Amino acid sequence: MAEIYLKKLAHSYLPNPQKPEDYALKEIDQVWEDGKAYALLGSSGCGKSTLLNIISGLLTPSQGQVLFDGQEVTQLPTEQRQIAQVFQFPVVYDTMTVYDNLAFPLRNRKQDEASIKTRVAEIADMLELTADLKKKARGLTADAKQKISLGRGLVRQDVAAILFDEPLTVIDPHLKWLLRMQLKALHQRLNRTMIYVTHDQTEALTFADQVVVMYDGYVVQIGTPQELFERPEHTFVGYFIGSPGMNVLPVSLEGATAYLNGQSLALTTRYISQPGDKLELGIRPEFTQLSPIPSAHSLTVTIKRIEDIGRHKIARADYQGREINIVIPEDQPVSVDYKYLTLDPRHIHLYANGWRLKQEASA
């Protein structure tokens, strides 16, 4: 297994890139730790595949280097990188048995049959494929075939990293959560460096130790699921992570006071912004509170509907033409007549041009 160093890495598909927009992957300089599980998360076109393909060797970056355990691999083809890959669609040999499919990557590396047998049995057991080992892959369901693909990715012990590219796409929805949990357990047991590409936040948050959130070619934040929830570094992270995502509202700032359409909100600290910055306030729906009675800093909202989703309720409200989501704990009363919304100042985030604003150092 390997530590992966993405050194001043950037990529443009254009021959002569000039400006940031020309880059599908904006410059990153990061070390991904040996044995950890990373998820590359972001919506379509944000650069996940570009980054994954650079790591796997399918693509040579237009700038920077990739190092596995300190060894440069930037120019090496995939076969020489000692990585295993699992793709969206199953890659299995239909005419072979499940056993032979799982044994294939090991036989290719001339391992002896006795150790292959032990390893295949171990992987089959983890993926609940033991009963199918003697069956031909051809007759199996798409789910089972994708499990074989996962097994083929996990079976080698000599790989630097295992890369997963949206591996649960073909899996039946009711089996998805099961496989997600199995993959998580497999990572904990095998302790391999794993990189998992997905646009599904649930998959990313369940699987990864570290979630790498991408937006418009930028890696906007790397963090644990909890860090992404508590301290989004970019409005996109706040909005993309969470259900519903963070509320984002235009704001102006004066000292330690924010103004939302003239309504003042006391902040816990002062922030440093520049003239011309597009300032926004972020607040997660969990840290807002509805009341029938106004308070000094409450916003006046109109509730459009209240959804009961079991664990809690979600009120969808209108505030000056913008939707605001409010999470209401099951045990708290609420009615569509409640008009006044307070934001917990300890959980207010401020952003300039999408990025988290720095706080002014206290004197």
Ligand X SMILES: Nc1ncnc2c1ncn2[C@@H]1O[C@H](COP(=O)(O)OP(=O)(O)OP(=O)(O)O)[C@@H](O)[C@H]1O
Q: Does 149 bind ligand X (CB under 6 A)?
A: no
Q: Return d(Cα 10, Cα 7) in angstroms, integer.
A: 9
Token pair listed for 98: 């499940």
Q: Return d(Cα 186, Cα 301) in angstroms, integer.
A: 47
| Placement of tokens 């520049």 in the chain | 274
Q: Does 226 bind ligand X (CB under 6 A)?
A: no
Q: Does 238 bind ligand X (CB under 6 A)?
A: no
Residues 50-69: x/- map of binding to ligand X (CB under 6 A)?
x-------------------
C-beta of 154 vs 212, nearer to ligand X: 212
Close Cβ partners of 181 (under 8 Å, ≥ 6 residues apart) = 206
Size of site (CB under 6 A) for ligand X? 11
Q: Return d(Cα 41, Cα 194) in angstroms, integer.
A: 14
Q: At closest approach, how far in Å is the CB of 245 from ligand X?
A: 18
Q: Return d(Cα 347, Cα 165) in angstroms, integer.
A: 34
Beta strand pairing call for 37-41 and 194-198: parallel
**Binding segment toward ligand X, per CB under 6 A, in 48-56, 93-101, 102-110, 149-157:** 48-56
Q: Does 16 bind ligand X (CB under 6 A)?
A: no
Which 187-216 residues touch ligand X, going by CB under 6 A? 199
Q: Does 85 bind ligand X (CB under 6 A)?
A: no
Q: At closest approach, how far in Å is the CB of 182 from ligand X?
A: 23
Any idea of the CA torsion for 74, 77, 79, 80, to the nearest 10 degrees?
-50
Residues 17-36: x/- map of binding to ligand X (CB under 6 A)?
-------x------------
Buried b (16+ CB within 10 A) or exposed e, 141-158: eebbbbbbbbbbbbbbee
Q: At closest approach, how far in Å is the CB of 261 from ligand X?
A: 35
C-beta of 20 vs 45, nearer to ligand X: 45
Q: At closest approach, how far in Å is the CB of 42 from ligand X?
A: 6
- Kindly tell me the sign of the dihedral angle through the C-alpha atoms of 286, 292, 296, 301: positive
Residues 340-359: x/- map of binding to ligand X (CB under 6 A)?
--------------------
Residue 189 CB neighbours (<10 A): 11
Token pair listed for 283: 């607040």
C-beta of 155 vs 211, nearer to ligand X: 211
Token pair listed for 62: 């237009």
**Binding segment toward ligand X, per CB under 6 A, in 45-53, 281-289, 329-337, 353-361:** 45-53
Interaction site with ligand X (CB under 6 A): 13, 24, 42, 44-50, 199
